[in-house]
Structure 1
Amino acid sequence: MASRSIAFRALAAIVATTALSAPFAQSASAATTPARTTTVSASEENPFRWMDLDGLRAEYRFMCPAGHCVGYWSLVLTDEVAKRSYRGGEFFAYAPATGEFGFFLNTDIATRTVRHPRQVRLVDSEFTRSHPRFEVRYGDPAQPKEARVVATATTWM
């Protein structure tokens, strides 16, 4: 069990670093382009712009792990959904078609579940790109089919 926990933490760190470093690398390469200034607004870089969001919204934020600031897009619960009363469970990202779970970015650590609605933060990851529909559910992650669906994201192909 301890080795699973260590492996999970290592995987979480890799996922978070990969997700957060992509926008930074893109910005660095754009900044070094000589004699051409291209301004790209944050809304144009939004990886979630093609998704139909219900109960979620895209948010652009900055994080400065180890003093190196990076900007990144994430999906968070809308204010209306976050204000609802939640008791006796946990939030988790779930793809009902495959039964797979995603990860939330809690500060700079990827976690499978969170307890508070303001901690729900999904970054652009393999999970969000590989599932045409995923949901944020609240309840017992051991029984995902009985958990309450609080938000959904759908990519129409």
Structure 2
Amino acid sequence: MESKICLEYRLNSGIKKDVYLTKEQLVEWMQCYKTNTRFVVQIDKDVHGISPHLVATFEIKSTYLEKSELDLLLNPASEEIEEIIEPEKCTFYITCSCGAKYYRYHEIDRRHLMCLFCKQKQVFADYSVGVVEGEQGIGYSMTNLKFVDRNLTRPPLIDPNRT
């Protein structure tokens, strides 16, 4: 028989409840709590449903688990490490109607930016010219000197001189 771990929780209304869960159910509860999805579990003949957005506080009580084992349970290192994914960046060659011409390293999905010099005008990604090459390498053009079709898809960032 598997040992049960006591999950004691207090609802926003002040009602205090406790439910006994297995290790797997506790990990499932933590995932539901992190993603704010309803947790439903059947224990013997009872079905328990807990909505994390209604839970004010919770506490895990277990005499069977050591702290290191509990940490591994709640933060599975190998399975789900929440990685911060850096957005892909590239160079934009910017030409503004105020006369400024410069380059800026920014997220590749940007469609418009404010001019760094006049700070009043927006420049828009001009994908109609394709990939441009400048002193900082290859990138995309941004301008406000002409009308830019905003519905064009971004061309792949491939060096035009590469064979």
* TM-score calculated relative to the size of structure 1: 0.23
Higher relative contact order (CA 8 A, sep 6+): 1
**Structure whose residues are more often helix by fraction:** 1
Larger radius of gyration: 2
* TM-score calculated relative to the size of structure 2: 0.22
